Structure 1
Amino acid sequence: MQLNAGCELSFQAQTPTPLILMLRPRSGAGQWIIREEYQITPAVNVTEFTDMYGNLCQRVVAPEGPFSIHFSATVQTADLIDVAPGAPYTPVEDLPDDVLHYTLPSRYCQSDQLGNLASSITNGTESGYDQAEAIRKWIHENITYQYGTSNASTSAIDTANNRIGVCRDFTHLGISLCRALNIPARMVVGYLYQLDPMDLHAWFEAYIDGRWFTFDATQEKPRGNRITVAYGRDAADVAFTTQFGPMQLNDMKVWVDTAQNDAEESERKMEQTPTLSNSAGSMNQNSNQQ
């Protein structure tokens, strides 16, 4: 499915403030970026780099006063995500070098303290995919999803104890429980079609049988039509904005809609517009071609 997705962020900076932004998705497994638009007001110099996880990051300095960011994209997404019940566990000695660090504890994912819980959840389950799915299902059934119940300091240990949180907390707990079983797990942030309520979203991936699989503990069943923006060990690696100074977020809007209506409307307008067959560009013209 083709999706139109994006966000608008409005800030107020008290002084000139450096920012790192992580808002641009890139083409890869399960998604193809057809079109994207990036607007920053007021206009400032922007430099872009790729971080150690392969995420596209932008560096800017917001001037004092109001500062806004608009990003939108049209993305071809996969309608389904792969599932593989029974897929075997990948032994640590066989893990690729760049996957090994996803087995270790991190700031929000204290996997070294959750071994007993992970073992109790997966007791009697085959090692590998079935363990990760048992963890996802347990979180979905035992952790209450509720806004305003956690903050930027909430960790997987807090969520395991309090049994309440949002997608960020569900994801940290899922990652931690997988790592406690030596299953590499990483955080993914992006967009999910028909998420209710609509917001930027987080889920986790586990490395099983030589590849990454998607798990989303906020959803009852596997769902596709996702747009991945960034990967990391936990939320510390995948913040959409990281600011280095006094700056207040005043408003944030997020949307994900099907692009089918746009395509039908464009086709209707083309049918109603007379063209000259000999005019330049009248045939095979595509303004969105990259």
Structure 2
Amino acid sequence: MDSAWLAQSFSVNLVSVILVCIVLASVLQGAVRGASGSAQRFMLFAAEGVATVVSVIVAWKLSDVLSPALQSWLVSKQIGIPNEEIGIFRQMYYTFVTGVRDFPLLRIGIVFVLVYLACKTVLVRIWMFVAFSTGLLGKTSGEGGRSWMSSGVGGAIGALIGCGRALLLIACLFVYTALYPQSSFTKYVQASDLYMQGATQVIAPVGGELLVDRLPVFAKAVGQEFNQILQRKYEVIDARIPNDIAEAAKQVTAGKEGDEAKARALYQWVGTRVQYDWDKVEQYEQKRIWKEQSPEDTFSTRMGVCIDYSRLYAVMARSVGLDVKVVTGLGYDGQGGYGPHAWNEVYLAEESKWVPLDSTWMSSGGNWFNPPGFDKTHIRQA
């Protein structure tokens, strides 16, 4: 969203307008409900807020305890991806289960959400039971019995509820501005006097330092782990290693000692045996038709694009005992820009490190097995 366009189109800041509308709508609701109805609504609003805060704290504490326990339990189950062709639902199952087992942020997030929902549901139900049992919540008076005084008090209570709702929106906008401080929308949001008052006087003193300093780092970590989860799907889909591919990989690496020698031999084989499928690219770019193919298809046709090179390399590497990943992201296009691309990372046990390689680019010349500056032409998706 372009802030200059917004500024020219409206004489007032839309963020301020929305915040004012939230409060006014709540005041109107309060006046319509009257004092009794608004008071009950306020109690519900306050109780839900307290339940939310308590549930977040409980879920945060318990997730630290339950997450390692869940991981240990999943590890004890020795869940392995079967070396056979499996349907889409089993693919989703193994991707999810092994992802929860292997990726800590995903595991903590799932535990947190489950505990939070359970805790909040219990607290709200307990409060509702107590409130109805003690008469704190009950039937409100009818429309005919409502006085101007009742509507006025209801409107005042509605204003308090509206301020609470507005602060929730300000908190959400504060999170966005912390994650994207340089965006044009952030500048537009910060041009709102009402937003800045709520952000600087309420949100920032309560948790602003934590959000500004740690949230971007946390978001980056979540993005990186999410990318790893997306890569897991290739491990699940390509878990089955066809006999002809395994035999070819065995022949290619025959006599090679060490992980690097085997990894280089497979890199050269895939890069020289598979031809880039320009027709497949053209079909996708012009007609948006994507021809999905398995590593077995790539092996038999000797044709494919970057993801096909990478998946075939991964299957061949795993068949000879190498630990390998399919990586997706952006690759330099040679014209000053970057485009969608895929490559591999392989673990070299003798050096105890992961190294990148690009068999697709090897086919067009040059050394793309862990060359200097690889990260300048390849940007991992995050």
Task: Please report the TM-score for the alignment, with normalisation by the length of structure 2.
Answer: 0.33
Greater fraction of residues in strand: 1
- For CA contacts below 8 A with separation 6 or more, give which structure has more relative contact order: 1
Rg (Cα) greater in structure: 2
Greater fraction of residues in helix: 2
Task: Please report the TM-score for the alignment, with normalisation by the length of structure 1.
Answer: 0.43
